[in-house]
Amino acid sequence: MKDRPAHNKRWPKPAIFWSLLVPGLGHIAVGYPARGIALSVLLTATYLGQIYFKTIYTTSGFFLLIVSYTAIYGYIIFDAWRLSSSEPQKEKRWFMRLDSLIAFGVLACLSSFYFDSLHFIPDEWRMPSSSMSDAILLNEHFLVDLTAYSPGEPDYGDVIAFLFPEDETKLFIKRIIAKPGDLVVIENKQVFVNGAPIDDSHARHGDTAFQARRDSMPAMTVAPDTYFVLGDNREESYDSRFFGTIPKNKILGRARIILWSDTLSRIGKTL
């Protein structure tokens, strides 16, 4: 009776672990570095490409990124598992050692931190108040496009992120109502810009009582390089009616899309 040949297969769980830790690292651990690097680059390019072309800020592009990123990441894990469980074990080389894998993992994490620090990558914010309801609800997470105005100018209706002029350690989210040189006035909750009532369909008025400072404002001309902003939830918003206009150099970016909400149907809603 002949003995069966030994296939010397690896235990697949380490490959899965390394792949979950850093995409592609599981392939390096089992001796397929070129394959792992190529798949990792593909995954990264899928993410960065959506950001570069700004398709991530559309509903269809947002969900396409989720599906494609998940599919590629899933394949990377599966492929590392398949190679580790079905292919004969390769001779252990320097890049397969534990210390090398840890070093690769640290390098990947540092690279991730570097990319996240770039102005190119959108910021994730959480809405701390109801001042922008119903566009952005309390505690919803959304993406801020930090490159929206470089180059370019903010436009009417843009929901912008900016440094609070009275305390620049705080970040605010409001909607642009008037631009430099515009004449803006509020009369009994109706906003007029250059003598014409604006489309106020996004505004929310929950309090029918009249409060002079909140619901009416004398005419003012928006100064050069500044913007007049209001919260959509007018009765619960601290905005340009109280602290004046926002200098352009204090604008950080444009809020673009809801990333997470307790109301699942709102995920992917554009702003």
> Which residues carry out catalysis?
131, 174
How many other CB atoms are found less than 10 A from the CB of residue 247?
15
* SS3 (DSSP) at 52: helix
Q: Could you give the count of Cα atoms lying within 13 Å of 63 in the half-sphere of its Cβ?
A: 9
Q: Contact at 8 Å (CB) between 4 and 87?
A: no
* Cα 8 to chain centroid, rounded: 45
**23 cis-preceded (ω within 30 degrees of 0):** no
Closest CA to 232 of 195, 206, 268, 270: 206
